[in-house]
Structure 1
Amino acid sequence: MAVDTPEGAVTGSARLEAPGWLEILTGGATYAAAFLLVAVLLPLVEDPAVHGIVGLVVSGAMGLVAFSAAVLVRIRGLSAFGIRRAKPRHLVVAALLGVAAYVLGTVAAIVYMVVSGDTQNVQTSYQAAAAGGWWSLAFAIIAGAVLTPLGEEAFFRGVLANAFLARYKAWIAVLASAAIFAVAHGINPVLPVAFVVGVLTALLFRWSGSIWPGVLLHGVNNATALLVPLLVTRAGV
């Protein structure tokens, strides 16, 4: 009897090629080292708009560097890390889920703030970048909606969620990888937003076997998060 499985599910020989703990630990250590370096150097950028743009750029760069380190541990085809073509329906669903992720993430952040009492806005520099004029907004969108999703999806889904999905039950892999992704954003109101994005992109990765739907979802979510506060402010709401 044939058993239905998600299109991107890792089975058979593909399971042997999927990244494992060696890739996770190598990429994770590289990501942590880059994070510490950024934590020391980024505060030196005093202009809020420039600080926001640089922050978005390094967020993507950290993921790409960690991904590269993980790939180089045991060199194999990039398709083992989800660098493969996605079908149109995967991308359409991803775009719609990007908007849903923003709505769900906003609700989750509000609940977090009410329950925890933590109301700090840790994205003021990103909002300053979006409000800094057309060129600043363009750079913020390129960095936040293209580079950041590319880097973070490459590592957190292409390596981390990928490795978990190949070895553990799907619900464990999805929730665990999303939790790690959320904690990587810090214990603040962004944590539940990152968790929502992490769950949805991990599910997309399991369904499609490709990181590109997750990159699109992540990009739509980030672009919406940059533009909505700007539009609300401009509208005087």
Structure 2
Amino acid sequence: MVSSPGHTARPVPSPGARPAPGLLELGAGGVAYALALALGIWWIDGIPADQGQVRGYVSYFVSGAAGVVAFAVAAGVRLRALAPFGIRRISWKWVLAGIVVAAGVYWVNQVVALGYIAVFGNDTPQGDYQAAAGAGVLSLAVTIVLGGGLTGLGEELFFRGVVANSLMRYGVWAGVVLSAVVFALVHGLNLILPLAFVVGLVNATLLRRTGSVWPGVVVHVVYNSLSNIGFLLTS
């Protein structure tokens, strides 16, 4: 290719190159997530503290909805396509693998939680979640739909579909480890931080292995559902 004087030739992307999210999508999605989360926290803070069951439902809804909103903003800002964010079909073996992995992560995190509590004490911020899941079978079903289904979907769409995919261009440490750190920090400096880091590490690895967010969604939905069942059994 010959360029005219005073102009720099731009590289031509290869025919097989796929568009990928980058800092623009990461920034737009991050701002949208922060705003949605702030509005959600304002909503939750307006619910009386003695209505823990309702606060738990709303908290789960906010967690999932914030991720969905942030994903929609990130996907619409430039690429306007879903495949670059990992919305790609997977085989049933990955669905089954996700279920098995979720069970393994759940029990690993039981050990992680015990270790954290032994050192730092039990500073879990999930009292409202426990109140909602522990209020009976019907209430448990609601928390599984909101906390397992919606939260699992929303957080994976944003934290893996946008955050991990955007960072993956900088290498495995950024795409997998750094994205897991971001996911953990969003959950606060408390008992949930190391548990979220483990989930984030596993799901970002699945994203890198498959190119799809769906195995991570399966893991997240099953993991959160098991956690809610655990809340009911220990209430």
With structure 1 as the length reference, what TM-score do the two structures score? 0.88
Q: Distance in 2 between matches of 1:108 and 1:70?
A: 33
Aligned pairs (5 A) from 1:173-184: 173-184=175-186
Of 71, 82, 100, the residue aligned with 2:86 is 82
Tell whether the 8 Å contact from 1:109 to 1:193 is kept in structure 2 after alignment: yes
Query: Which amino acid in 2 is paired with 1:191?
Result: L
Q: Distance in 2 between matches of 1:113 and 1:168?
A: 35
The Cα offsets for residues 82-104 of structure 1, whole Å up to 9 and x where unpaired, read as: 11111112111111111111112
Relative contact order, higher structure (CA 8 A, sep 6+): 1
Deviates more, 1:17-26 or 1:222-231: 222-231
1:72 is matched with: 76
1:100 corresponds to 2:104? yes
Query: Which amino acid in 1 is paired with 2:221?
Result: G
Cα deviation for residue 118 of structure 1 reads 4.0
Query: Which amino acid in 2 is paired with 1:136?
Result: S
The Cα offsets for residues 119-170 of structure 1, whole Å up to 9 and x where unpaired, read as: 22311111111122333211111001100011000010011111122x1221
1:138 is matched with: 141
Deviates more, 1:20-29 or 1:91-100: 91-100
2:122 is matched with: 119
Change in 2 beyond 3 A, CA 1:85/1:109? same
RMSD across aligned positions (CA): 1.6
Query: Which amino acid in 2 is paired with 1:81?
Result: F
Of 201, 212, 235, the residue aligned with 1:199 is 201
Q: Distance in 1 between matches of 2:155 and 2:46?
A: 24
Tell whether the 8 Å contact from 1:59 to 1:152 is kept in structure 2 after alignment: yes
Deviates more, 1:81-90 or 1:37-46: 37-46
Query: Which amino acid in 1 is paired with 2:189?
Result: I
- Partner SS, residue 186 of structure 1: coil
1:159 corresponds to 2:153? no
Q: Distance in 2 between matches of 1:65 and 1:90?
A: 26
1:22 corresponds to 2:28? no
Change in 2 beyond 3 A, CA 1:85/1:111? same
Q: Distance in 2 between matches of 1:156 and 1:143?
A: 18
Change in 2 beyond 3 A, CA 1:134/1:113? closer
Tell whether the 8 Å contact from 1:118 to 1:188 is kept in structure 2 after alignment: no
Give unpaired runs (5+ residues) of structure 2: 1-13
Percent identity over the alignment is 43
Q: Distance in 2 between matches of 1:78 and 1:176?
A: 23
Tell whether the 8 Å contact from 2:21 to 2:79 is kept in structure 1 after alignment: no
Q: Distance in 2 between matches of 1:130 and 1:99?
A: 19
Deviates more, 1:106-115 or 1:215-224: 106-115
Of 208, 213, 223, the residue aligned with 2:210 is 208
With structure 2 as the length reference, what TM-score do the two structures score? 0.88
Deviates more, 1:79-88 or 1:179-188: 79-88
Deviates more, 1:195-204 or 1:42-51: 42-51
Q: Distance in 2 between matches of 1:13 and 1:173?
A: 25
Q: Distance in 2 between matches of 1:110 and 1:219?
A: 22
Q: Distance in 1 between matches of 2:114 and 2:174?
A: 26
Larger radius of gyration: 2
Query: Which amino acid in 2 is paired with 1:79?
Result: A
Query: Which amino acid in 2 is paired with 1:122?
Result: P
